[in-house]
Amino acid sequence: MKKDTFLLFALFAFMQLNAQSIVIGTGTASTAGSASDPVDGYFEAFRYQVVYTAAELKTSLTPYDQITALGFSVDEDYGGGNLIGYTIKMGHTTEVNSAIHNINATTIVKNPFAYNPTVTAAGSFDMITFDTPFIWNGTDNIIIDICSDGPNPFVSPYGGVRGTTIANGSRRYRQDGGTACDVPTATINGIKPNIKFNYTDGSPPACVAPTGLVANSVTSSSANLTWNAVSGSVNYQYVLNTTAANPGGAGTTITGTNFSATSLTQSTVYYFHLRNNCGASGFSTWSTISFTTPTSPPVNDTCSSATSLTVSNSFANGAKAGTILGATTTSGLTPSCQSSVGDDVWYSVIVPTTGSMTIEIQSGATNGMTDSVIAAYSGTCSGLTQVGCDDDSGTGNMSLLSIAGRVPGSTLYIAVWKFGTGTSTNDQFQIAAYDVNLATDSFNNDSFAYYPNPVKNVLNLSYSQNISDVRIYNLLGQEVMMKTINANRSQIDMTEFLRSTYVVKITSDNQVKTIRVIKE
């Protein structure tokens, strides 16, 4: 053995001999069987998260103490032997429980190894010694993130630990035929395991790291970061990026205890790294907080901003792509077919001359919705009256609503939402309004004219048949103008439009002509 390796081993052995311990939790609930826990062989791979609070740690630990081992009170063995690639990470967090997947920065304290759990008596723990101690800052809660990519054999018994029954006690992700260590946890467990930590006394570093990092007022494009002032600090350095690992170099100098982040990207996990500059004493270690920018609501998030549908003669001819990603919930809706309403988007449609039509939802091409609900309303957005509602009459669990006996030319508003909760997955869909009895003749291009193009002020339109309406969209697909015509000639005033290219859709007898117009 090399001399430096021997000294390091001897130092760590000395730390273990002088270790103290703390036990958190005395619950008698069991996760034995198929339930999720940090000793989990029910699936080939798993990831498990649990939070222990600063209040729990402070009963024994003091700031900068070094946690050198942990153990769970194992009450059921794993029949498959070793849990392969068992890895333990720890980090600081402001989360107080496991209600959401924890994205705070963590470090590996136990490198991947083959863990063969040992059953213990109540009040005893199967201890795992760390490869690298975890230094607690004395302020924050801690997140424990355990995983095994296996593949672990499906052999009974599957492992279990003792714990306390509590809401949002822990979280899990489990699967067969794949890995889990890099997949976010998705399911909440109702048990928080009893745990034992071994630790040694620590001492404050020469330069104390910042504490109390908080992300406030987070929007899709901005956030405000604050932290506690450190006595004797010269200034601070920060790095804002999308990487959990500590920065490899210097950051940007900042004074004060506040930073406003702007020009952020929606639906993105950001990491704000901060360290203290102590002058002659050098720099502290990095402190890190993470936050996620929300998704901007869709353009048709509300009834008043409904996207228009044109009634076609088939689903394929009238299908329009949609999403509920980032949508909010309209209050006051009480649809008759499904009481679960949330994260809804809106469409409007003009009833065709037949007075009848079908509104259908199908899954999107990517990240497709699998269970939709739709409701149709007459009236105005401030006074809606339901005329129809459907949950599962379409393909699979998708929606199909037949509407008849409506007044031609009247407007209906269509609310679309996903059954259940969560819009971050399976949020894409296609929607169409159609009536198979409508004429199938195509738009007669020979009798249609428009000029000038490019246009400075007024766009002139003419057609051999009645033009019912004209809609103008920008290149983002947002409707910027809708004008009811009901004549075979019209002038569209584009004077106030910004210089750009626009898509103009002219509807006549339920047929749509699309042109591109350049505004000078």
Q: What is the CATH number of the domain that holds 132?
A: 2.60.120
Specify whether 127 is located in the same domain as 228.
no
Q: Residue 57 has what DSSP assignment?
A: H
Claim to verify: residue 133 and residue 229 sit in the same structural domain: no
In this structure, are residues 61 and 144 in contact, taking their beta carbons and an 8 Å threshold? no
Give residue 26's region: left, alpha or beta (phi > 0; psi -120 to 50): alpha
Cα angle 192, 193, 196; round to 5:
135
Domain presence at residue 121:
yes
Q: Kindly state whether residues 449 and 396 are assigned to the same domain.
A: no
5 within domain boundaries: no
Please give the Cα distance from 145 to 502 (Å, whole number). 51
Residue 96 carries which DSSP code? Answer: -
Q: Is residue 232 domain-resident?
A: yes
The answer to the question of residue 266 being in a domain is: yes
pLDDT of residue 440: 54
- In eight-state DSSP terms, residue 312 is B
Residue 244 sits in a domain whose CATH number is 2.60.40.10
Tell whether 463 and 331 lie within a shared domain.
no
Residue type, 61: L
**Of 177, 200, 223, which closes a domain?**
200
Q: Mention every residue, 6+ apart, whose C-beta is less than 8 A from residue 361.
A: 369, 372, 374, 394, 398, 399, 400, 416, 429, 430, 431
pTM over 0.75: no
Residue 183 is predicted with a pLDDT of: 87
- SS3 sequence, 318-382? HCEEEECCCCCCCCCCCCCCCCCCCCCEEEEEECCCCCCEEEEEEECCCCECCEEEEEEEEEECC
Rounded to whole angstroms, the Cα distance separating 123 from 295 reads: 46
CB 34 within 8 A of CB 69: no
58 and 192 in a single domain? The answer is yes
Same domain assignment for residues 241 and 146? no
CA distance 432 to 313: 10
166 and 35 both lie in a single domain = yes
Q: Is residue 3 part of a domain?
A: no
CATH of the domain at 428: 2.60.120.380
328 and 422 share one domain: yes
Maximum pairwise Cα distance, the chain: 95
Of 200, 225, 257, the residue that ends a domain is: 200
Residue 428 domain boundaries: 303-434
Contact 501, 475 (CB under 8 A): yes
Do 376 and 249 share a structural domain?
no
- Residue 4 counted as domain residue: no
Please tell me whether residues 264 and 187 are part of one structural domain.
Answer: no
State how many domains the chain has.
4
Encode the chain (520 residues) as per-residue pLDDT tens digits. 334 444 444 444 444 445 699 999 999 999 988 889 999 999 999 999 999 999 999 999 999 999 999 999 999 999 999 999 999 999 999 899 999 999 887 888 999 999 999 999 999 999 999 999 999 999 899 999 999 999 999 999 999 999 999 999 999 999 988 889 988 898 999 999 999 999 999 888 889 888 888 888 999 899 999 999 998 899 999 999 998 888 989 999 999 999 999 999 988 989 999 999 999 999 998 988 888 898 888 999 999 999 999 888 889 888 999 999 888 889 888 999 988 788 899 999 999 888 999 999 999 988 889 999 999 999 999 999 999 999 999 999 999 999 999 998 899 999 999 987 555 567 899 999 999 887 655 677 888 999 999 999 999 999 888 899 999 998 888 889 999 998 889 999 999 999 998 999 999 877 888 898 999 9
Residue 517 CA to residue 47 CA, distance in Å, equals 54
Domain boundary among the residues 242, 264, 293 is at 293
What pLDDT score does 212 carry? 83
* Phi, psi angle pair for 87, to nearest 5°: -130, 135
Shared-domain flag, residues 72 and 158 = yes
In a domain, 9, yes or no: no
Q: Do 160 and 52 fall within a single domain? A: yes
Domain assignment present for residue 440? The answer is no
Tokens coding 480: 């910027």
